[in-house]
Amino acid sequence: MNIGEAAARTGLPAKTIRYYEEIRLIQPHRAENGYRSFDEKDLHKLSFLARARALGFSIEDCRMLLALYEDETRASADVKRVAEGHLKRIDQKIADLEAMRATLSELVEACAGDHRPDCPILKGLSGQSAGLQG
Amino acid sequence: MNIGEAAARTGLPAKTIRYYEEIRLIQPHRAENGYRSFDEKDLHKLSFLARARALGFSIEDCRMLLALYEDETRASADVKRVAEGHLKRIDQKIADLEAMRATLSELVEACAGDHRPDCPILKGLSGQSAGLQG
DNA sequence: TATGGACCTTCCAGCGTTGGGAAGGTCAAG
DNA sequence: CTTGACCTTCCCAACGCTGGAAGGTCCATA
């Protein structure tokens, strides 16, 4: 099938599919007219990629996971290691965001939010108030 | 003072300070030799930017906040609106990451992580298992 | 057969926020 | 006079696409 149908069936934009070919995540065949030709195996790989990306795996993680997916002699430990690394990064991001959230929400709650110019948020950002480290 | 000292005193890399000038967040004067010359007001603005960026505000949010910071007749409501918008985006990001985390950690926990090829993580990513929507 | 439109191709450029590095000017110390 | 630390501008890379331009292909219809 052509790229349009592959896009429709995997939910990935055609542009993204071309990009995945360019960075050699997939290698669809070419028809005589030069059009990319996708088979079921390509579709499976694209769907795999779509799910892995939706879980936040980097492209390089995806490349590794795809290689493991295709390697029938893989050890599940190798897959798990990649996933645990990603999990750790997710946890770190969540922690960072929670920290931001805590400080910011403190400032927001202290701000009257009316017509007057006095503003604890700006005070906090300008370093005139406690609650902001760094 | 020169950019090196400004960098040291605000904790921002010199490269970043030059970028902030390029996108017109700051406008330091120039000495006769062409070097940027930072005064205390510039330092305050840079520190303000550093704190706002550390809280995850976008550059455009920072531009708005800086304008409000410098406008003595601002209404705190305008500041609060920007901050609340950002807080909302943070909450959304946290929610997205928590969702990823939940799915991924489920898969990781189901994976033996040994020498055998059987792997629930790959099964999940390939769509052969429950727990992965979209 | 001609035309139109939907598809496909490649190539180039940009997003945001730096970071790295080249090539070269300036300044202070020895 | 040299050395080395600083400064300047400019260009490229990163991430993972996304948009658009210019042009080829295919199919249906007039």
Domain spans of chain B, in order of start: 1-56, 75-134
CA distance B69 to chain A (A): 6
Which whole number is the average pLDDT over B8-30? 95
Distance from CA of B32 to the nearest CA of A (A): 30
| Amino acid at residue number B60 | E
pLDDT at residue B130, as a whole number: 52
Amino acid of residue A47 = S
Query: What pLDDT digit, counting tens, does each position of A4-23 carry?
Result: 999 999 999 999 999 999 99
State yes or no: pLDDT of B43 exceeds 90: yes
Please provide the CATH number assigned to the domain covering A1-56: 1.10.1660.10
Nearest Cα neighbor of B19 from B44, B46, B43 is B46
- Predicted confidence band at B122 (pLDDT cuts at 50, 70, 90)? very high
Alpha-carbon distance B7 to B15, whole Å? 9
Q: Are B17 and B46 spatial neighbours (Cβ–Cβ below 8 Å)?
A: yes
Beta bridge partners of B29: B37
Which chain B residues touch A88 with a CB distance below 8 Å? none
Q: Which residues contact A29 (CB under 8 A, 6 or more apart)?
A: A36, A37, A39
> Which candidate in A80, A91, A128, A132 is best for mutational testing of the B interface (most B CBs within 10 A)?
A80
For chain B, positions 2-61, list CB contacts with chain A under 8 A.
11, 44, 47-48, 50-52, 54-56
Burial class of residue A46, CB neighbours in 10 A (0-12, 13-18, 19+): buried
Q: pLDDT per residue over A18-39, tens digit each?
A: 999 999 999 999 999 999 999 9
Residues A25/A62, Cβ–Cβ less than 8 Å:
yes
Q: Residue B62 CA to D10 C1' — how many Å?
A: 27
Q: Is there a contact between A101 and B87 if contact means CB atoms under 8 Å apart?
A: yes
- Residue B26: CB atoms within 10 A of its CB come to 21
Virtual torsion, Cα A68, A71, A74, A79, nearest 10 deg: 10
Cβ atoms of residues A121 and B66 within 8 Å: no
**Nearest residue in A to B12, CA atom:** A134
